[in-house]
Amino acid sequence: MEEIYAKFVSQKISKTRWRPVPPGSLQTADTFAAGSWDNEENYVSLWSIGDFGNLDSDGGFEGDHQLLCDIRHHGDVMDLQFFDQERIVAASSTGCVTVFLHHPNNQTLSVSQQWTAAHYHTGPGSPSCGSAPCTGVVCNNPEIVTVGEDGRINLFRADHKEAVRTIVWEVHFHPSNPDHLFTCSEDGSLWHWDASTDVPEKSSLFNQGGRNSTFLSHSISNQASVHQSLISSWLSTDPAKDRIEITSLLPSRTLSVNSLDVLGPCLVCGTDSEAIYVTKQLFS
């Protein structure tokens, strides 16, 4: 069994990512990035490893991972991805997305690009522009896609100061029946996510066209110490609740569905197709 080498860094580490090797290269990974969280000051750092098992001139292992450089990061590092050989993209709990550039000549990191309000909360009960954590990022040069707790998916380009596109406009739990979730999006979709125990047969919301439903399986590790009655159906391990039914509520795709609201059996949504859709029989 291979030995595992540990280095104590005095920080809680939230993310680690290997730097990709150049296409066609036969070399193995030798550099990785790390991000921290839940510290008074958080950092994005770059580390190098050597050949495990060989002693250096000081009697230490050459394979010990050594810090190349680091830079302070505002907020917790929620995700971390290499954009290319020199650039690292970090997602922050503050809603900010930052591209860091590695300078190998003097082993430093600097901010190459930053979108400070990539994700934010708006609407009743929220500040005019309250930050929302950016929870995930994926890169495919020159594009960067981020997702956050505000329900938005953002498409960025490294050479653009603003998002190229923003998708998933609003997300609402039913106020008295949180087993039911409703989402609307820029792509014209209006979806009902049903995680209740009993999934009844129901027709399309506006009784036009056919019913369009998809089932998703979900599971989570068992929490035996918590009484099932206190667990949200979205987190339940009960096999009877192991499917989510997703129903498209509009008869056909339209222009962007910008807003929705739900109260009791009633739902209303507004679209860029200059139409307002209303139903009073949401669960019939």
pLDDT tens sequence for the chain (284 residues): 467 788 899 999 999 999 988 888 778 888 999 999 999 999 999 999 865 444 455 544 455 789 999 999 999 999 999 999 999 999 999 999 999 999 999 999 999 999 999 998 875 455 556 889 999 999 988 999 999 988 788 999 988 999 888 876 777 788 888 888 888 887 788 888 888 765 444 443 443 333 455 555 444 334 443 444 445 666 665 555 556 788 888 877 778 888 888 888 888 888 888 888 888 887 76
Nearest 5°: CA angle at 242, between 177 and 219? Answer: 105
Question: CB burial class (10 A; 0-12, 13-18, 19+) of residue 8?
Answer: exposed
Q: Residue 126 is encoded by which pair of tokens?
A: 């929220």
CA–CA separation, 283 and 264 (whole Å): 9
CB-side exposure of 73: number of CA atoms within 13 Å? 35
The span from the CA of 220 to the CA of 239, in Å, is: 11
- Closest to 282 (Cα-Cα) out of 170, 192, 168: 192
